[in-house]
């Protein structure tokens, strides 16, 4: 058993203890978010773990919808929490913690996207895509995105298709669609998080929805 394993076990035990505390002792009063944020600012690890517990699902799902990749989403979620912990002091209004953490998530995703592009990940081909050659493009039979009867029956397949289409959106459209229609933020909140005007948010959402509608027309017919 190495040191990492031991550390992990201790951390897990710590979390378990916190869960017990929250539900049981001292009348079982859960610390509210503001209090948690304040305590986290003072480097209270227990409070910060509580905050992470409260937000990890949300952040992870946002990241998953942004990236479409489970492992990538996990990495980004961890990055977000690390950044949050390190920069909690810069949070001026504790009330805006939710917007603040989601903004960090969005920025983390943007930075990662830029990093990936700079590393050339956007320039590789797969047989899934049309291949340009000297003699013209290779006629590869692309995956038929039209859902078959079986697919339509299975809603999970539809959801996969929706996610695929989200992945094809422009990043700016993806961000607003995820935050607004999946995560459920208001226009104002999206505006705050992304630091763009509400008008811009609305127009982007309009375009994004329109794009998705076109992409998913055949799916929608069966829905």
Interacting residues with other proteins between 75 and 94 (CB under 8 A): 77-78, 81-82, 85-86
A 10 A CB-CB count for 79 gives: 18
Under 8 Å between Cβ of 187 and 199? no
| Cα–Cα dist 217/146, whole Å | 10
b/e for 149-174, b at 16 or more Cβ within 10 A? eebbeeeeebeebbeebbeebeeebb
In this chain, which stretch among 1-9, 19-27, 89-97, 105-113 interacts with other proteins, using CB under 8 A? 1-9
Residues 157-216 that bind other proteins (CB under 8 A): 158-159, 162-163, 177, 181-182, 184, 202, 205-206, 209-210, 212-213, 216
Minimum CB distance to other proteins smaller for 95 or for 131: 131
Minimum CB distance to other proteins smaller for 70 or for 95: 70
Residues 3-22 that bind other proteins (CB under 8 A): 3-4, 7-8, 11-12, 14-15
Please work out, in degrees rounded to the nearest 5, the angle formed at the alpha carbon of residue 54 by the alpha carbons of 113 and 198.
Answer: 55
Q: Per CB under 8 A, does 53 bind other proteins?
A: yes
In this chain, which stretch among 24-32, 60-68, 97-105, 188-196 interacts with other proteins, using CB under 8 A? 60-68
The least CB distance from residue 27 to other proteins, in Å, is: 25
From candidates 17, 34, 57, 197, binder to other proteins by CB under 8 A: 57
Binding pattern for the stretch 99-118 against other proteins, x by CB under 8 A and - elsewhere:
-------------------x
Under 8 Å between Cβ of 150 and 52? no
From candidates 69, 171, 188, 195, binder to other proteins by CB under 8 A: 69
Alpha-carbon dihedral 66, 67, 69, 75, rounded to 10 degrees: -90
Under 8 Å between Cβ of 99 and 189? yes
| Cα–Cα dist 105/193, whole Å | 9
From candidates 23, 25, 90, 133, binder to other proteins by CB under 8 A: 133
């Amino acid at each position: 058993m190495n040191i990492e394993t031991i550390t992990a076990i201790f951390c897990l035990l710590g979390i378990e203890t916190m869960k017990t505390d929250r539900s049981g002792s001292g009348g079982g009063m859960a610390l509210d978010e503001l209090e948690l944020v304040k305590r986290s600012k003072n480097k209270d690890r227990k409070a910060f773990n509580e905050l992470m517990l409260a937000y990890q699902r949300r952040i992870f799902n946002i990241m998953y919808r942004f990236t479409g990749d489970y492992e990538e989403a996990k990495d980004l979620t961890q990055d977000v929490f690390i950044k949050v912990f390190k920069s909690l002091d810069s949070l001026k209004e504790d009330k805006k913690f939710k917007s603040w953490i989601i903004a960090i998530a969005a920025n983390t995703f943007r930075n990662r996207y830029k990093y990936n592009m700079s590393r050339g990940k956007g320039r590789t081909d797969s047989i899934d895509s049309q291949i340009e050659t000297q003699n013209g493009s290779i006629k590869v039979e692309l995956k038929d995105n039209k859902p078959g009867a079986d697919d339509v029956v299975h809603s999970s397949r539809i959801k996969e298709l929706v996610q695929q289409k989200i992945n094809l959106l422009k990043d700016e459209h993806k961000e607003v669609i995820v935050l607004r229609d999946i995560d459920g933020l208001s226009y104002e909140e999206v505006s705050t998080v992304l630091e763009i005007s509400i008008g811009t948010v609305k127009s982007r959402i309009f375009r994004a929805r329109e794009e998705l509608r076109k992409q998913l027309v055949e799916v929608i017919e069966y829905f």
